Structure 1
Amino acid sequence: MATNVLITRQPDNRYTARALVLPEIVVSGATEAEAVEHLRAALSDVHLHSRIIQVELPITTPTLEHPWLRFAGMWEHDPDWDAFDATVTALRHVDTPDTPPV
Structure 2
Amino acid sequence: MLKRYGFKSVAAEGYAAPGVIVAYTKDPDMKSGAKFAALGIQIAAGVPLMVDEFTQSSDFQTFRLGLFGIDKLRAIDATTSQLESSQDSLGSRGLQTRVTDRILEAEG
TM norm structure 1: 0.26
**Bigger fraction of residues in helix:** 2
TM norm structure 2: 0.25
Compare CA radii of gyration and give the structure with the larger one: 1
Q: Which has the higher contact order (CA 8 A, sep 6+)?
A: 2
